[in-house]
Amino acid sequence: MKGNEAIAHAAIRCGTDGYFGYPITPQSEIIETLAALKPWETTGMVVLQAESEVASINMIYGGAGAGKRVLTSSSSPGVALMQEGISYMAGAELPGVFVNVQRGGPGLGTIQPSQSDYFQATRGGGNGDYNVIVLAPSSVQEMADFVDLAFELAFKYRNPAMILSDGVIGQMMEKVVLPPIKPRRTEEEIRKECPWASIGRTPDRKPNIITSLELKPEVMEQRNLHLQEKYRQIRENEVRFETQQCDDADYIIVSFGSAARIGEKAVELAREDGLKAGLFRPVTLWPFPSRQLAELCKGKKGVLVSEINAGQMVQDVRLAVNGALPVEHFGRLGGIVPDPEEIVAALKETLVK
């Protein structure tokens, strides 16, 4: 099935309580598949087409604030519209999940694939000092697997989590094994897991207030410090990455998402050419596997960061290796997806010489 369809199937199977979204290419199959599958008749999952991305992210805010597993999806321009709500969710510490099936920008841009929302995703994206957990699937299987993983991480840390995909992974069909079925949580389970949820004050507790507002700067600073401590723990515990043929490699290609699939082929082609290349793929883009990458790069000759943008993740790679070896960037823009041969050529041109 398509990556977008996999998201929809996985959402139903992993006990999602609600999906709220607004159609936009190249991810409309997510809401279309959900509408066709009618999960409200089986698991009781709510599916609602909102009036805008602004509304859908706020429905997510409301649902997450009420302790539910809620999901939305969009593509780049729509995700830009959602940033207000995402910032509020980070501020109020709410565990929602959102999917960005990226397309090229800026502005209305193109409906073709891109990875140009890396900065927006990994730097927060809205106002304030915050981060969302960012998972970058590189296969249809991971589209399916990351829905539950994103929810688990979101609830574990009471923090929004994003699946940063793109038009390639969303539109591509591959073999996929759907995740096991998890029932939706009962009210008791929700009360236990989310004692903070705003779902009606029982006499044994004080009112639960979901808010990101605090006008006293001393208190607000403490709240921010609390968030920063949480982010430190996430950086400590939740880094995920994959490597291929790095052990004997002289050159490392660093790519995420669909670009990592192309990078994998580039490694094959480079090795056929006698060039010892390996692939490093960050799975979590935030937290970024900085320490792990720096460690792996020891003794290597150079790094080529190949991404479908003008050079975004390359900044994180340079920060990670901190000048220890040359780091170059290769990318295509505007909806053009690079092919593996271009990457090998770029590797030779910029690093091997």
Partner 1 sequence: MANNIISPENLVYKKPALMNDTTMHYCPGCSHGVVHKLVAEVIEEMGMSDKAVGVCPVGCAVFAYRYLDIDWQEAPHGRAPAVATGIKRLWPDRLVFTYQGDGDLACIGTAETIHALNRGENIPIIFINNAIYGMTGGQMAPTTLIGQKTATCPYGRDPELHGYNLNITELASHLKGTCFVTRQSVDSVASINKAKRAIRKAFEASMQGKGSSLVEIVSTCNSGWKLTPVKANEWMRENMFPEYEKGDLKDTTGL
Partner 2 sequence: MKKEIIISGFGGQGVLSMGKILAYSGLMEDKEITWMPAYGPEQRGGTANVTVIVSDERISSPILSKYDVAIVLNQPSLDKFEPKVKPGGILIYDGYGVFNPPTRKDISVYRVDAMDKAAEMKNAKVFNMIVLGGLLKVCPVVSTDGLKKALFKSLPERHHNLIPLNMQAVEEGMKIIEQQ
Cα–Cα distances (Å) from 267 to 110, 258, 309, 342, in that order, read 29, 14, 20, 12
Return the closest-CA partner of residue 260 out of 313, 319, 184, 205.
313
| 26 touching partner 2, by CB under 8 A | yes
160, interface contact from partner 1, partner 2, none, CB < 5-8 Å by kind: none
174, interface contact from partner 2, partner 1, none, CB < 5-8 Å by kind: partner 2
Can you tell me the distance from the alpha carbon of 349 to that of 353, in angstroms, rounded to the nearest whole number?
6
* Pick 173 or 324: Cβ nearer partner 2: 173
| 51 touching partner 1, by CB under 8 A | yes
* Pick 25 or 83: Cβ nearer partner 2: 25
Instruction: Please report the sign of the dihedral spanned by the C-alpha atoms of residue 102, residue 108, residue 111, residue 114.
Output: negative
198, interface contact from partner 1, partner 2, none, CB < 5-8 Å by kind: partner 1
Among 51, 106, 107, 175, binds partner 2 (CB under 8 A): 175
| 80 touching partner 2, by CB under 8 A | no
206, interface contact from partner 2, partner 1, none, CB < 5-8 Å by kind: partner 1
Contact set for partner 2, span 233-262 (CB under 8 A): 258, 261-262
Cα end-to-end span (Å), the chain: 42
Among the listed ranges 32-40, 64-72, 127-135, 166-174, the one in contact with partner 2 (CB under 8 A) is 166-174
Residue that is written with structure tokens 């199977």 in the block: 13
Largest separation between any pair of C-alpha atoms in the chain: 73
Can you tell me the distance from the alpha carbon of 129 to that of 266, in angstroms, rounded to the nearest whole number?
37
Residue 64 Cβ vs partner 1, minimum distance, rounded to whole Å: 8
